[in-house]
Amino acid sequence: MLFRIEKTECQRLRRFTQNCSVLGAWKRESYDSGVRTIEQLIVIGSGNWGLALGSLFSNSLPTRIWTINAEAANALTKERAAGSTTPTCSKSIKTLIFEEKFATDFDSMRTLLIFAVPSGQVRTIASEVRNHARAPLILSVSKGFDAERQCTMSEVIKQEIPEASVIVLTGPTIANEVAAGKPTRAVLACDNLVHLAMVKKALQNDVIAFEVSRSPTHHEVLAALKGLVAIAAGIAHGLDLGANVQGVLMTEGLRELSVVASFFGIPESVAYGVSGAGDLITTCISPDSRNRKLGVLLAKGRTLRQALDEVHMTVEGVAMSKTIDTLWSLDVSIPLFNLVSAILSDNDGNPSDALHRLIASL
């Protein structure tokens, strides 16, 4: 009996010690992160995604939309006053406040900034924010990749604002569907546990259900890669090759996504999760997908520049070409990614012949 009591007490002591270690790490992280709350949201960017998220989150917190200039802010303010919706946002925008970016000051210890600008503008916006806040809390919802410096959007922000805490939101999130209140699931990822919990709580809603992760770059890399598969699916659709071919391309795309994930040390569970497979499938099948639209236009004979101009949005799949070229040179098995990269680089002038050759070789 004495032995059993001592053993039980030892087990309790061990559990207590472990809990203290976890609690201590939590407290250290809380202390290092500074004392902050989320009392308002500022969405930087008034495109489809920015308006959809702003409208959704404004149900819980005061929300401002920062536009590129005063004219854009005034136009949206007039629409709000008229009780209308925007052409790309089916929900009312009456709860949103529109103003030119940085038109008013903000308390960085009580504000969550949401970066909802095209990926090519993220570095510029981050540089501007740095002049107003030393250590802001930022939610990055811009899917993309910096081709020149080979880094994700959260890494771009950290390069410009080293003391910023960046949370990534990614997953199958077509803006028009979110704006219409159609349910989906997405990932919130941040290496700071305290800020991750804080943002998840602040953004709770009945449209997007959130999973959490502490590896933001893992999810961002997959989000950028999936665009290449959607471009291929769009090319197949534009060439009227049928659903069978698109199914084959998506299957190969999922395999290659897993291969690249393994190469970068990204767990297979992430590759086949909502930010990997889920986002890939959605982007391939949705008529609102920018990458798919680009593929359709390329199949119709447009040049890459003409297709990008017609889409009127940043297409994140294009920025991955340089990375794919490097991986291909290292003998990573990614024939579909390499084919799309070659088409985008105009090194394979006939998309139809290229797709037929690829499918025959799989």
Cite the active site residues. Answer: 226
- Tokens matching residue 112: 């969550």
SS3 95: coil
Residues, the chain, total?
A: 362
Residue 200 CA: distances (Å) to CA of 129, 205, 210: 23, 10, 7
Burial of 20 (0-12, 13-18, 19+ CB in 10 A): exposed
Report the candidate in 3, 85, 12 with the shortest Cα–Cα distance to residue 52. 85
Q: Are 43 and 114 in contact (CB under 8 A)?
A: yes
Q: Are 283 and 289 in contact (CB under 8 A)?
A: yes
For the chain, the C-alpha Rg in angstroms (whole number) is 23
DSSP letter at 215?
-
Partners of residue 211 on adjacent β-strands: 187
- Tokens matching residue 113: 């900034």
Report the candidate in 320, 318, 324 with the shortest Cα–Cα distance to residue 293. 318
